[in-house]
Amino acid sequence: MSGRGIPDRTLLWGTAATQLIGWGTLYTPFPLTVAPIEAELGWSRVLLNAAYTCGLLAAGLGAIPAGQWLDRHGPRAMMPLGAFGASGLLVAMSLVQHPLAYFALWILIGAAQAMCLWGTAMAVVVAEAREPTRTITAITFLTGFTATIFLPLTDWLIGTFGWRGALQVLAAMQFVAAAMTWAMLREARAPARAAAMTAGPSLWARLRQPAFAGLALCFAAHAFIGTGLGAHLIPLLRERGWPESMVLLLAAAHGPAQVAARGVLFVLGRRVTMRGVGRLATGLLPIAMLALAAGPSSLPLTLVFVGSFAVADGLLTIVRSAGAAEILGREGFGAINGALSAVAMLPRTFAPFALALVWEGAGGYGPVPWILVGVALMAAGSFLVAATARQPAPPGAAT
C-alpha cells in the first residue's frame, strides 16, 4: 500500500459509525418489517424469509470478489459505491409491490453488503491501521450496541410512518453513512498493484494451507452456533418451562456480556495475542454448549451457558478479523477475509432451518444442545490447528 493512510482515530470512529448505521439499516430491521409487509401485501412469511435468505447468500458469494477488488484497487471506489447503492435500494424496497422485485432487491442489497459492510470494512482496518487489533476491538465494542439502538428505533419508525416510511428514513440514514464512508476513505492508501500481484502466494494456494482450513472450519462452526441459537434460544428456554420474564432476561444478557468481554480485551491491549484470545474463546464454546445441554432445569448451569457463550461470541467476532490477520498475514487480506466469509455463508444461512428440522423430528429441543456441543468442539479443535500451523515463508525469505 502507498500514500499517507487514514489515522487510527479517524478509522476507528468512522468505521464504527458507518458499520453501526449500515448494519442497523440493512440487517437489523428485517424481522420487524415481516409482519407489516405480510399484512399489507398478503405475501407468505416463507416467501419473505426466502428473499432475505437469498440476500444473505448474495452477500456471502460476493465476499470473495469484493475482497479481491479491495486488494487490487483499494476501498475508495467500491465501499462508497456499495454504501450509496444500499441507500437507493432501501428506497426502492419501500416502493416494492411485486414478489419478484422483492427478491431482486434483497439480492442486490446482499451484493451491496459484501461491498461495504463488515468483512470489507475489517479488511480495510487490517490494511490501514497501525494497531489493527486494538482498533478492531474498539470498533466491535461500539457496534455491539447496533441492535440496542436500531430495534427500538425501527419499531418506532414503523409505528409512526408505516413500514414504507420507516425504510425511507433508514435509507436517509444510510445515505449519511455512505457520505461518511466516502469522506473517510479519501485518505486511504492506494494499493501497490505491482507488488500485490507478484508478492505472496496466490489465493488458491492460501486456501489450501492448514491454517486457512482450520480458521474456515472454526468460523463456520461459530456461525452455525450463533445464527442457530439466535433463532432458537428463546423457544428452547420456553420449552424448558422457564418463566417468560426469565427467558427474556437470559436472552438479553448476551449483549451486555459480549460488550463487556470486548471492553476487557481493549484494556488488555498488547498484553494478549489473538492466538491466545482465540484459544480462550473457542475453549469457552464447548463449555457453554455443555452447560446448556446438561442443565435444562438448572439456573446456575444456564447462567454458565449465558456467560460463557456471550464471552466466546464477543471475542470471536474480533478473532474473526484480527486473529485471521495475525495467523494468515496481512498481505492480500481482502480476498482471504472474503473467502473466510464465503465458507461461513452456508452454515450461517441454514443453521436456523437445520435446527428446526431437528426440533420437528425429535418432537422438542432435547438433542439440539448436544449437537451444538459437537459443533463447538469442532470449532475449538479447528482453531487449535490454525493457531499451531506453520505458515510458508514469503517469497525471497531466507531459508
Residues 246 and 209 placed together within one structural domain of the fold: yes
Give the model's pLDDT for residue 49: 82
- Convert the pLDDT of each residue in 19-40 to its tens digit: 999 999 998 888 889 889 999 9
Whether 275 is covered by a domain: the verdict is yes
Whether 1 is covered by a domain: the verdict is no
Residues 85 and 142 placed together within one structural domain of the fold: yes
Is the pLDDT confidence value at 1 over 50? no
* Whole-angstrom distance, CA of residue 198 vs CA of residue 202: 9
Residues 355 and 339 placed together within one structural domain of the fold: yes
- Convert the pLDDT of each residue in 62-112 to its tens digit: 998 999 899 889 899 999 999 999 999 999 999 999 999 999 999 999 999
Domains contained in the chain, number: 2
Residues 146 and 12 placed together within one structural domain of the fold: yes
Give the model's pLDDT for residue 4: 64
Whether 395 is covered by a domain: the verdict is no
- Convert the pLDDT of each residue in 216-274 to its tens digit: 999 999 999 998 998 889 889 999 998 988 988 888 888 888 889 988 998 888 889 99
Residues 318 and 180 placed together within one structural domain of the fold: no
Q: Which residues of 352-369 are buried (b: 16+ CB within 10 A; e: fewer)?
A: beebeebbeeeeebeebb
Residues 223 and 308 placed together within one structural domain of the fold: yes
Residues 178 and 246 placed together within one structural domain of the fold: no
Calculate the average pLDDT of the chain.
89
Q: Is 92 helix (H, G, I), strand (E, B) or coil?
A: helix
Residues 174 and 215 placed together within one structural domain of the fold: no
Helices 118-128 and 8-26, packing angle to 10 deg: 180
Residues 149 and 226 placed together within one structural domain of the fold: no
Residues 219 and 181 placed together within one structural domain of the fold: no
What would the grid cell of residue 83 be? 454504501
Last residue of a domain, one of 152, 177, 198: 198
Better pLDDT: 242 or 392? 242
End-to-end CA distance of the chain: 26
Whether 398 is covered by a domain: the verdict is no
Residues 78 and 55 placed together within one structural domain of the fold: yes
Is the pLDDT confidence value at 398 over 70? no
Residues 241 and 124 placed together within one structural domain of the fold: no
- Convert the pLDDT of each residue in 174-229 to its tens digit: 999 999 999 999 888 777 554 444 445 566 777 778 999 999 999 999 999 998 99
H helices of 129-209, in order, are 132-143, 146-185, 193-198, 203-207
Last residue of a domain, one of 165, 198, 231: 198
What would the grid cell of residue 235 be? 423457544
* Whole-angstrom distance, CA of residue 209 vs CA of residue 372: 27
Whether 188 is covered by a domain: the verdict is yes
| Banded pLDDT at 397 (limits 50, 70, 90) | very low
Q: Which domain holds residue 266?
A: 203-388
* CATH code, 357: 1.20.1250.20
